[in-house]
């Protein structure tokens, strides 16, 4: 599979860059797309704001403390969707094998490409230039022989980066990677990795598959393969929808059981409506809770019957909620999703916000 040519394109500070492009008075200033109110969250920060430590998903109040001159700009999702469509038109000049991850990033398989360009790095360079000249926006690109390395490469020299990881260089490159850069390694997993003496790719590669499976479950196999530069997943232009979900950011943190049950009910009602509109059938229900301190947990349950009606979903959601200690940890956000779908359910699964907060997830 090392003869594949995969490109990962990632728009730099996408929402914020669109706002600075369309509003010249914002150029060069630290801006955040989102809402400045007490319950607001930063969706995207410009690079001027990031120099102060402002990041996506950060509470607006904290962002303003870090950068008092921060300018908040309301999001314009329809505009971002249209710009994303224009970016994809550029992609299609080179290939139709495009796997979008979000509005602002995608994988492209250019092993066989429309212009017949031999080097994938030349295609990536052309795409970056067209995005700059036609849309007045900046993208970073990573090029390699699989999705894992292409994604790593696109992050390596941000912003406006272009990085290629050749098969001959892959193992050496991976050896130097901090463990936090590996797919699926968040703060909790990274902490566990560190406790095991694993801080980089070289130390990860030294562990056996059995050890990683024992410590991390099925995802341990992914860590084992990625440490060796192995990722056989194809770039998929069509997805099976894996989940339908929704979440609600609350107006204030809550810990009273009656209040939590009421909010859970509202989310469950919205979820049932989304399942019906998308004709989605699944057997696993997942509860997502974000606490007042932004720590987050999920709890899941799988049933033999399909989860499609409120009288099935709500009791299961309440059952999952019993596993959550929220009396001493007030809740900021509640989410529910249904997954484990029928095979014929098509398209891309996403979490959808019910509040005015929206995220540029990475």
172 is catalytic: no
Give yes or no for residue 5 having a pLDDT over 60: yes
State how far the Cα of 49 lies from the Cα of 24, in Å rounded to an integer. 16
Mean of pLDDT values over 111-115: 96
Which phi and psi angles does 251 have, rounded to 5°? -65, -30
pTM recorded for the entire structure: 0.73
- pLDDT at position 354, please? 39
State how far the Cα of 253 lies from the Cα of 185, in Å rounded to an integer. 28
Q: Which CATH class is domain 1-167?
A: alpha beta
Mean of pLDDT values over 202-221: 95
Answer whether 1-167 and 243-353 agree in fold.
no
Question: In the chain, which ranges are continuous DSSP H helix?
Answer: 14-22, 47-50, 60-66, 77-91, 120-135, 147-156, 170-176, 187-195, 201-205, 209-216, 219-226, 257-277, 310-321
Average pLDDT for the chain:
90
State how far the Cα of 221 lies from the Cα of 32, in Å rounded to an integer. 38
- pLDDT at position 39, please? 76
For domain 243-353, which CATH number applies: 3.40.50.620, 3.30.1490.100, 3.30.565.10, 3.30.930.10? 3.30.1490.100
Q: How long, in residues, is the chain? A: 362
Buried b (16+ CB within 10 A) or exposed e, 248-278: bbbeeebeeeeebeebbeebbebbbebbeee
For residue range 305-359, list pLDDT tens digits in order.
899 999 999 999 999 999 999 988 999 999 999 988 755 444 444 433 333 333 3
For residue range 127-153, list pLDDT tens digits in order.
999 999 999 999 999 999 999 999 999
Catalytic residue chosen out of the listed positions 48, 99, 105, 357: 105
Question: Percent of the chain, pLDDT > 90?
Answer: 77
Q: Could you state, in order of their start, the residue ranges of all structural domains in the chain?
A: 1-167, 172-226, 243-353
For domain 172-226, which CATH number applies: 2.60.40.420, 1.10.150.20, 3.40.50.300, 3.30.70.1430? 1.10.150.20
Give yes or no for residue 239 having a pLDDT over 70: no
- pLDDT at position 206, please? 97
Q: At what angle do helices 209-216 and 187-195 cross, to 10 degrees?
A: 130
Strand 6-11 relative to strand 139-144: parallel, antiparallel, unpaired? antiparallel
Mean of pLDDT values over 81-93: 96
């Amino acid at each position: 599979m090392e003869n594949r040519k995969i490109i990962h394109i990632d728009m730099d500070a996408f929402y914020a860059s669109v706002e600075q492009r369309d509003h010249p008075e914002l150029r060069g200033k630290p801006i955040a797309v989102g809402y400045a109110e007490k319950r607001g969250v930063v969706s995207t920060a410009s690079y001027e704001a990031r120099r102060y430590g402002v990041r996506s998903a950060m509470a607006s109040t904290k962002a303003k403390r870090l950068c008092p001159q921060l300018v908040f700009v309301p999001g314009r999702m329809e505009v971002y969707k249209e710009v994303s469509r224009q970016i994809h038109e550029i992609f299609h000049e080179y290939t139709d094998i495009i796997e979008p991850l979000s509005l602002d990033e995608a994988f492209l398989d250019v092993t066989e490409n429309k212009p017949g360009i031999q080097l994938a790095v030349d295609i990536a360079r052309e795409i970056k230039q067209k995005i700059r000249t036609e849309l007045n926006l900046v993208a970073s690109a990573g090029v390699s022989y699989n999705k894992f390395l292409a994604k790593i490469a696109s992050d390596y020299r941000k912003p406006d980066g272009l990085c290629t990881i050749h098969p001959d260089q892959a193992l050496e490159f991976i050896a130097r990677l901090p463990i936090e850069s590996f797919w699926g390694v968040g703060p909790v997993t990274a902490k566990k990795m560190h406790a095991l003496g694993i801080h980089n790719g070289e130390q990860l590669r030294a562990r056996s598959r059995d050890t990683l499976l024992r410590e991390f479950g099925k995802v341990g196999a992914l860590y084992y393969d990625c440490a060796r530069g192995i990722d056989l997943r194809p770039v998929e232009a069509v997805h099976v929808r894996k989940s339908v979900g929704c979440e609600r950011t609350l107006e204030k943190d809550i810990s009273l059981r009656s209040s939590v049950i009421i909010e859970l009910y509202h989310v469950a009602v919205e979820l049932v409506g989304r399942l019906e509109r998308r004709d989605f059938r699944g057997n696993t229900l997942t509860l997502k809770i974000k606490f007042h301190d932004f720590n987050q947990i999920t709890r899941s349950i799988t049933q033999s019957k399909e989860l499609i009606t409120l009288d099935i979903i709500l009791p299961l959601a309440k059952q999952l909620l019993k596993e959550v200690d929220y009396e001493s940890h007030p809740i900021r956000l509640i989410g529910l999703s249904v997954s484990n779908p029928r095979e014929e359910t098509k398209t891309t699964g996403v979490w959808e916000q019910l509040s005015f907060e929206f995220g540029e997830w990475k």
